[in-house]
Structure 1
Amino acid sequence: MNHRVVITGIGIYSCLGQDLESVKKSLFEGKSGIVLDQSRKEFGFRSGLTGYVPEPDLKARLSRRQRIGMHQPAMYAYMSTIEAMELSGLDPDFLEQNETGIIFGNDSTAASVVEAIDKTKEKRDTTLIGSGAIFQNMNSTVNMNLATIFRLKGINFTLSAACASGSHAIGMAYLMIRQGLQDRIICGGAQEINPYAMASFDGLGTFSLRESEPVAASRPFDRSRDGLVPGGGAATVILESYESAKRRNAPILGELVGYGFSSNGDHISNPDIDGQLRSLQMALKQAGMNADEIDYINAHATSTPVGDASEARAIYEIFGDRVPVSSTKSMTGHECWMAGASEIVYSMLMMEGGFVAPNINFESPDEDTAKIQVVAQTKNAEINVFLSNSFGFGGTNSTLIVKKWNP
């Protein structure tokens, strides 16, 4: 039996704001969260640009024992998850008594590892690292901390798939619920914001050097784009079977109807249009939809010359120039492991608000980007169905399709 999979809660903690309302306002206003972080320049970065995300103070919310195993990804994810749970009408007592899973996308906890090693080098004694370090260091830090704090009893694992991690986490949760293996799963993505996590990216020369005007640095689809800007935080999406949501009178915000995926099987970092096309086509087929039924596309476009051009060609081949397209990375930068989840949240807010957020800094298209309908200014629009792309290093591709709830 294939169960309908609905969205009953969303939460966000990002450079656009630390709650749904402030983020929705930033999206509508086309407000960027990108700044120049001078400490990165002092650290040795070529580019000091980043999406600024404050680290939350959890002392008033969690005990020391609960906090000790948490580093940035888990902290951010806790904040986005409590917001999503509140919206969904879930509380720890319910979760303890009713099997609920968790699948989060996360592909690094670099800072905590470096800090533990530095302490060992300084003290020359591993026993002084601290009891919480092991739980901070593991890529599964988000899952192990949240599953413990919220007393979750269902599926529990971290999905690591580069910049498609958050999207695949939602996709895997969708498949499990659809097949009846779980009633509900808390899923999403988290991305740490610190120099240790981003230094190797900077060393590859992938970051924009447009430091004189930080808010104009991330320029997806624009001819003058010169590289991405790193961002981060966390986003949570609560998926549930329709039957489960109905039993507890949960709010239904939308329905996840399609998940497509593929591997390029080619270059480790360069994009491949064939892989992207297969992911898009699979999502449409699974949703039982035609291309002309999609009202909005939240593009993966990260502001790199080759990547944006490749995605523009893939979008044009399937959708032509009919569908409004924007990349919210123009405002957030590339949120990496969380991007596939945060862009579902951003698009859900647009669907609810009746608008398409702008692809800011889109001033002059190139040969490929001129063929698709990139939305450069906020546009009032009814979004009944949206599609979100996520493509990652190693050639991993993910596409999700969400529609307004229709009983």
Structure 2
Amino acid sequence: MSRRVVITGMGIYSCIGTSLDQVRESLFNGVSGIVIDQARVEFGYKSPLTGMVPLPDLKGVLGRRQRISMGEESEYAYMATVEALRNARLSDEELLAREVGILYGNDSVSKAVVDAIDIAREKRDTQLIGSGAIFKSMNSTVTMNLATIFGLSGVNMTISAACASGSHAIGLGFMFIQQGMQDLIICGGAQEINPYAMASFDGLGVFATDFEHPTLASRPFDKQRTGLVPSGGGATVILESYESAVKRNAPIIAEVIGYGFSSNGAHISTPNIDGPAKAMRRALQQANLTPDQVAYINAHATSTPIGDANEAQAILDVFGGNPYVSSTKSMTGHECWMAGASEIVYSTLMMQHGFIAPNINLEEPDDAFRDLNFVSGTLKQEFDIYLSNSFGFGGTNSALVVKKFNNE
């Protein structure tokens, strides 16, 4: 049995907006969410740039017992999920009455771990760490918190796959539903943005260095790119079988039709060309598409010299120069564990509203990949099918293919 898998709701909490409407406007207008973070300056960062996301105020929304178990990434994920469930027309009663699953991408809980250990070191008494600390400091913090808050009874797993975590979560949700194992799954990705989470990255010297002009610092594919800009937040996509969506008269936003994955099996941090190309080909094969049928590619491109160049070559190898290409990370920075999910939200918003967001700060592409069909200014363009790439440390690769829904 192979069932159709549709998207019936989306939610977003990011540095370019904390709602779908805000984010759509930012995407269309090419608005950057990158700022200089004074906390990073004081912390000793070489690069204090980040995509700044406001911390939610959940007092009066959730009880104290619930809040003390939630770290930063769980709060972002909660906000995105509330919006997604509302847009999918899923009530609290329906969540309890049905078997609803959750698959969410997350690969760090740095602040919660550091805070707990600091208390133990200072006080020499582990009981003073607090009863909520353990639930904040586990990698599965997002799924365990959301599953209990919303009363979920289906599949419940965290996907830890570096910067492809959010994409793999959606891909696995797609497979679970396609194979008839679940009807309805909350999928997504979350990323903390506190200084603890990014200090080791900063120490590697991989962050952008244009501190005087924060909004110009993230420049995927541009000759003058100097490195990535870290960011974060939460993004949620409600995946549902077509039959379930029709039965409850749900709004169908789009349809997931392909998921490709691979491992580079080589250097732990330097990406290659063959792995990403394999993931894209596998996604196309599962979607039963030829490369010329994909209108737009939301590139993983993080603004690093080698990563952008290798992905560009992989896209050329698979697609040639036909599809439009842009990286929304030029506006958001690299949302890490969240990025694979947020970029599905971004791309789906574009497809819904007939435009392709620009790869801002792209003034001159590298000579090696000038043949790619880059979008450097907002393009008013209807399109029906896109592919979104997500790659991560350890050589993990994910590619998702999504199409505009039609009842055929």
TM-score range, shorter chain: over 0.9
- 7-16 vs 114-123, which moves further: 114-123
CA distance in 2: counterparts of 1:343 and 1:13, whole angstroms: 12
Partner of 1:266: 266
Identity %: 64
Q: Which amino acid aligns with 2:130?
A: G
What displacement does 1:124 show? 1.1
Structure 2 unaligned segments of length 5 or more: list them: none
Partner of 1:70: 70
Partner of 1:80: 80
The answer to whether the aligner puts 1:346 opposite 2:365 as a matched pair is no
Q: Which amino acid aligns with 1:316?
A: L
Partner of 1:188: 188
Partner of 1:406: 406
What displacement does 1:368 show? 2.4
What displacement does 1:317 show? 1.2
The answer to whether the aligner puts 1:230 opposite 2:237 as a matched pair is no
Partner of 1:209: 209
CA distance in 1: counterparts of 2:54 and 2:64, whole angstroms: 20
Partner of 1:145: 145
- For residues 116-135 of structure 1, the aligned pairs below 5 Å read 116-135=116-135
Instruction: Describe the SS at the equivalent of 2:250.
Output: coil
CA RMSD of aligned residues (A): 0.6
Instruction: Describe the SS at the equivalent of 2:151.
Output: coil
What displacement does 1:68 show? 1.1
CA distance in 2: counterparts of 1:292 and 1:305, whole angstroms: 27
Q: Is the 8 A contact 1:169 1:189 kept in 2?
A: yes
Q: Deviations over 1:355-393 (max 9, x none)?
A: 000000000111223120111000000110010000000
Instruction: Describe the SS at the equivalent of 2:270.
Output: coil
Q: Is the 8 A contact 1:190 1:232 kept in 2?
A: yes
The answer to whether the aligner puts 1:256 opposite 2:268 as a matched pair is no
Off by >6 Å, runs of 4+ in structure 1: none
Q: Which amino acid aligns with 2:376?
A: A
Give TM-score, length-normalised by structure 2: 0.99
What displacement does 1:123 show? 1.2
Q: Deviations over 1:12-64 (max 9, x none)?
A: 00000000000000000000000011220110110000000010000121111
What displacement does 1:321 show? 1.3
What displacement does 1:65 show? 1.1
Q: Deviations over 1:306-331 (max 9, x none)?
A: 00000110111121111110000000
Q: Is the 8 A contact 1:222 1:369 kept in 2?
A: no
Q: Which amino acid aligns with 1:405?
A: F
What displacement does 1:305 show? 0.3
Partner of 2:170: 170
Partner of 2:199: 199
CA distance in 2: counterparts of 1:194 and 1:133, whole angstroms: 17
What displacement does 1:216 show? 0.1
CA distance in 2: counterparts of 1:370 and 1:303, whole angstroms: 16
CA distance in 2: counterparts of 1:260 and 1:232, whole angstroms: 24
CA distance in 2: counterparts of 1:141 and 1:317, whole angstroms: 39
Instruction: Describe the SS at the equivalent of 2:86.
Output: helix
CA distance in 1: counterparts of 2:387 and 2:272, whole angstroms: 19
CA distance in 2: counterparts of 1:38 and 1:58, whole angstroms: 25
CA distance in 1: counterparts of 2:383 and 2:403, whole angstroms: 8
Give TM-score, length-normalised by structure 1: 0.99
CA distance in 2: counterparts of 1:64 and 1:39, whole angstroms: 27
Q: Is the 8 A contact 1:177 1:240 kept in 2?
A: yes
What displacement does 1:272 show? 1.0
- 98-107 vs 32-41, which moves further: 32-41
What displacement does 1:205 show? 0.4
Q: Is the 8 A contact 1:184 1:241 kept in 2?
A: yes
The answer to whether the aligner puts 1:374 opposite 2:374 as a matched pair is yes
CA distance in 1: counterparts of 2:60 and 2:49, whole angstroms: 31
Partner of 2:357: 357
The answer to whether the aligner puts 1:282 opposite 2:282 as a matched pair is yes
What displacement does 1:347 show? 0.3
Q: Is the 8 A contact 1:12 1:236 kept in 2?
A: yes
Q: Is the 8 A contact 1:218 1:361 kept in 2?
A: yes
Structure 1 unaligned segments of length 5 or more: list them: none
CA distance in 1: counterparts of 2:327 and 2:60, whole angstroms: 36
